[in-house]
Amino acid sequence: MLIPHAHDAIHRSWLLRLLSAIADDRMLMTMLRFKGGTCAAMRDLLDRFSVDLDFDLLSIEQIPEARKHLEVIFKTFELTIKDQSKTVPQYFLRYEGGEGKRNTIALDITVPPPQSNTYEVIRFSDIDRFIPCQTVETMVANKLVTPLDRFEKHGTIAGRDIYDIHHFLFNGLRWNAAVIEERTGMSGKKFFQALLDFIEKHVTQTVIDQDLNILLPPEQFRKIRSILKRETLSLIRQHVQS
């Protein structure tokens, strides 16, 4: 996983420490499926830093057991729960860090996940563990939907979502169309047109700069920032016109 700045090494170590402990818990491995930016980065599918851990939890009925096992791990590592959701296993965890430095890990769990999601078991060399996770096609499909979903639910836009979409499409990765249709009610050209319209209207240079500048090395950020929106729109437009 790329480390854009020297101080990010501490955060990366905590991510890997926590992920290793989760992977070593047999009960959690029957319930959780790894996903998101950190998963993609650790699979060499994404070339940016990612600061959180994201999972799917297969069943609502598993929430109490998942909470119990996760909170044992947090206690073992003396991680402080700064905040958490009352409805799903979603936590903001603080570790001891230097003053003014990043010291919080968000652990976010989707339950239930889309029924169309597909999974596979992958060896993650950074921690030498086999973990069930979203397939590449499922990961790409969910990321394509994320900008629309994030804006609808929270009224926010994340530049990293646009960067990830650009990276996935630029590298020719395919997507699980059934996931897109299940999550949006749209398929094919209609969805890509909606995504194109959203990015054209809502994604500004400020959005891109504020989000990405801490997730990429300075030189990489300078190269991509001014062309990211234009190239992403071009890549999406190909699927509208095909």
- Domains belonging to the chain, first-starting first, are 1-134 (3.10.450), 135-242 (no CATH)
End-to-end CA distance of the chain: 34
pLDDT band at 98 (very low <50, low <70, confident <90, very high): low
**Whose CA is closest to 73, among 22, 149, 5?**
22
Section 160-184 average pLDDT: 97
Q: Which pTM was predicted?
A: 0.94
State the average pLDDT for the chain. 94
Percent of the chain with pLDDT over 90: 89
Is residue 237 within 8 Å of residue 199, measured between CB atoms? no
Is-cis flag, bond preceding 112, omega within 30? yes
206 φ/ψ sector (left φ>0, alpha ψ -120 to 50, else beta): alpha
Share of the chain above pLDDT 70, in %: 98
Q: Find the farthest-apart pair of alpha carbons in the chain and give their distance in angstroms, rounded.
A: 53
pLDDT of residue 101: 75
Q: Which residues of 36-62 are buried (b: 16+ CB within 10 A; e: fewer)?
A: bbbbbbbbebbebbbbebbbbbbeeeb
> Span 109-136, mean pLDDT?
97
pLDDT at residue number 96: 86
- CA dist 219 → 10, 149, 216, 224 (Å): 22, 31, 8, 9
- Check whether 99 has a pLDDT greater than 70: no
Judge whether residue 14 has pLDDT over 80: yes
Alpha-carbon distance 82 to 12, whole Å? 19
* Residue 226: how many other CB atoms lie within 10 Å: 11
Angle at 54 between CA 141 and CA 239, to 5 degrees: 15
Q: What is the pLDDT of residue 188?
A: 87
3-state secondary structure of 33: strand
Contact 82, 104 (CB under 8 A): yes
Q: Give the C-alpha separation, 118 to 97, whole Å.
A: 37
Q: Given pLDDT bands bounded at 50, 70 and 90, which one contains residue 8?
A: confident
Query: What's 123's DSSP letter?
Result: E
Q: What are 119's strand-pairing partners? A: 134
